[in-house]
Amino acid sequence: MKFDVREIIKAANGEVIVDLLLKNGKLVNVFSGEISKESVAIHKGFVVGFGNYKAKKILNLGGKYIAPGFIDGHVHIESSMVSVSEFARAVVPKGVTSVITDAHEIANVLGIDGIKYMLESSKNQPLNVFFMLPSCVPATQMETAGAHLTGFDLYPFLKEKWVVGLGEVMNFPGVISADDDLLNKMKIASGKRIDGHSPGLMGKALSSYITSGIASDHESTTLPEAKEKLEKGMYVMVREGTSEKNLKDIIPLVNEKNYSRFFFVTDDRHPQDLVKEGSINFIIRKAISLGLDPVIALKMATLNTAEYFRLPRIGAVAPGYQADIVILNNLKDIKPVMVFRRGDLVAASSEFVAKKVKLAGMLRGSINVRWLRDNDFQIPVPAGRKSVFVIEIVPHQIITKKKICPAKIDATGKLAVSDIKNDILKMVVVERHLASGNIGKGFVKGFGLKKGAIASSVAHDSHNIICVGVDDKSIFTACVEIVKMGGGLCVADGEKILGHLPLPIAGLMTDKPLEKVVSELEKLVAISKKLGCVLDDPFMTLSFLALPVIPELKLTDKGLVDVSKMKLVGLFV
């Protein structure tokens, strides 16, 4: 719907009958910070004024609250494992009318084709989908990705209406060392926002990173880290995802003097969390329960985000603003009873009522693996070595700890194997883009599995096949099943597949209905727990264990990565 300035001016002046009047509501004004009894006039998809207007349709709200539609400031739609249209079905009834997404995941698998697919799939959705171009494909040279994108590759996309900047610059050592390729990407994005990704970065290194033009960060996990980034001029994205839960630690930093520098993001949320908890609405509700003023919380979920990304005419309920509006019973549970996007009702009573949009055409297959053999996952023990580096999971975070533990040696005295008693399990990463035969091997602590293996083709950021298991037979069976499915998730025990979820779109997503995906995921989690797994969402945790830009220790198809040193290291101490 185009913005017809002449028509809107006339409507605002009462010269034409408006399309809709939301009458007798309580307007949450994110500009003044006040809540006032108000009626809101909407015409041709835009708010035109407050007060009494002649309208084709009048909706009496009976004192309900009128707030701007919520905006997710940083989300990877691919992490929902569903298509863009199914993602919209999940988040729109929760009050989300706009998202800023980074197609980083699918770009690491399919390159330019992946970005084009996401752009096309986002058209005509009942949701504003803005894009940040993926800056790090691949994220590092310590893994094998499916593509390599340069500034030359990205430049044409900057002309797209819905592209608003350059996505999270993960390679912070590259920025600090003034890497030419990275700086070229940042240069072409000049005039648009450049998002950051700098976990644990502080002191002079952080200052160096910021001077490059990077303006935000969503990786703060502690209050001191967020405070330094705030003090040095960064916008702080307060994240609450499925695995990454930072809200409780960071929200005490927010006050009436600085709240304009904060906004909310989900980053990565699994479909079951989107359905059961929600999206940005869940973060607002939790922030309020932790003591944040409701109006400030709503501003952080709307206007702050829009202003940071320089998005005109969204983020507020005011004359000239797009009529993306959420109707709430109260400012405590943040449960939308109606959601409007461009003046059209798209959700009511938590139900999606908008027309579902068809997907863009399907993509090519993305699994290309060298023939696997059952002895590929063995870990020979070098002479005289008795200890190994182990990746230790940190609950509810994507950071990990580096531990040194005694290696458990098999009866032959030649191979290192899983130490089930001490919850030290074998983990492998199988390269799946070039059929190179690369297999990274290591150990992880924190899953709790007593039997079997779990595997996935969702493994940030290069999305090779990742698997954790107690024995090689289960690991082999699980990895082969991922190849057979063309990507997905599965649980195996010995030679038996106990459950699977195919993800044929780049090995990351499916075009199946949201409800079916949630049901299948819940089954897989339940099966994993029967095998002893102690994690709430083992597949989300698993997906981040191959991400070599998040401290301290990760595993890629090329081997073990010590993130603090940004280099590959040996498994044995």
What share of the chain in percent tops pLDDT 90? 88
CA angle (467, 473, 477) in 5-degree steps: 60
The reply to whether 79 falls in a domain is yes
Instruction: Supply the pLDDT for residue 350.
Output: 84
Instruction: Supply the pLDDT for residue 360.
Output: 67
Instruction: Supply the pLDDT for residue 398.
Output: 84
CA angle (232, 186, 138) in 5-degree steps: 105
372 by DSSP, 3-state: which? coil
**For the segment 460-503, what is each residue's pLDDT rounded down to a tens digit?**
989 999 999 999 999 999 999 999 999 999 999 999 999 999 99
Q: How many CB atoms lie within 10 A of CB 188?
A: 17
Are 298 and 387 in a shared domain?
Answer: no
Instruction: Supply the pLDDT for residue 242.
Output: 83
Are 274 and 422 in a shared domain?
Answer: no
| pLDDT mean for each 10 residues of the chain (573 residues) | 85 97 98 97 97 97 98 96 95 98 96 95 95 92 94 93 94 90 90 93 96 95 96 97 90 97 95 93 97 98 98 96 98 96 94 79 87 94 93 90 96 94 98 97 98 97 96 98 97 98 96 93 97 94 92 96 92 94
**CA–CA separation, 376 and 428 (whole Å):** 10
Are 161 and 264 in a shared domain?
Answer: yes
**CA–CA separation, 539 and 500 (whole Å):** 12
Domain count within the chain: 2
The reply to whether 331 falls in a domain is no
**For the segment 118-158, what is each residue's pLDDT rounded down to a tens digit?**
999 999 999 999 999 999 899 888 999 999 999 999 999 99
Are 113 and 259 in a shared domain?
Answer: yes
**CA–CA separation, 365 and 506 (whole Å):** 7
Are 257 and 396 in a shared domain?
Answer: no
Give me the CATH number covering residue 227: 3.20.20.140
The reply to whether 262 falls in a domain is yes
Cis, peptide link before residue 126, omega less than 30° from 0: no
432 by DSSP, 3-state: which? coil
**End-of-domain residue from the set 315, 339, 356:** 315
Pull the structure tokens for residue 464. 């090779």
Compute CA 245 distance to the chain's CA centroid, rounded to the nearest angstrom.
12
Are 214 and 113 in a shared domain?
Answer: yes
The reply to whether 335 falls in a domain is no
**CA–CA separation, 460 and 451 (whole Å):** 25
Instruction: Supply the pLDDT for residue 1.
Output: 57
Are 308 and 384 in a shared domain?
Answer: no
**End-of-domain residue from the set 267, 293, 315:** 315
Are 87 and 197 in a shared domain?
Answer: yes
Are 166 and 297 in a shared domain?
Answer: yes
Q: What is the pTM of this model?
A: 0.93
CA angle (180, 181, 183) in 5-degree steps: 65
Residue entry with tokens 């130490």: 419
Average pLDDT, the chain: 95
Are 303 and 391 in a shared domain?
Answer: no
The reply to whether 438 falls in a domain is yes
**End-of-domain residue from the set 295, 315, 335:** 315
**CA–CA separation, 547 and 130 (whole Å):** 25
**For the segment 29-53, what is each residue's pLDDT rounded down to a tens digit?**
999 999 999 999 999 999 999 999 9
Q: Are 30 and 331 in contact (CB under 8 A)?
A: no
Closest CA to 71 of 96, 88, 38: 96
The reply to whether 296 falls in a domain is yes
The reply to whether 273 falls in a domain is yes
C-alpha distances out from residue 25 to 39, 223, 330, 346, 356, Å: 6, 37, 11, 19, 29
Quote the domain boundaries for residue 407.
379-569
Instruction: Supply the pLDDT for residue 370.
Output: 95
The reply to whether 231 falls in a domain is yes
Are 481 and 409 in a shared domain?
Answer: yes
Instruction: Supply the pLDDT for residue 354.
Output: 85
Are 420 and 539 in a shared domain?
Answer: yes
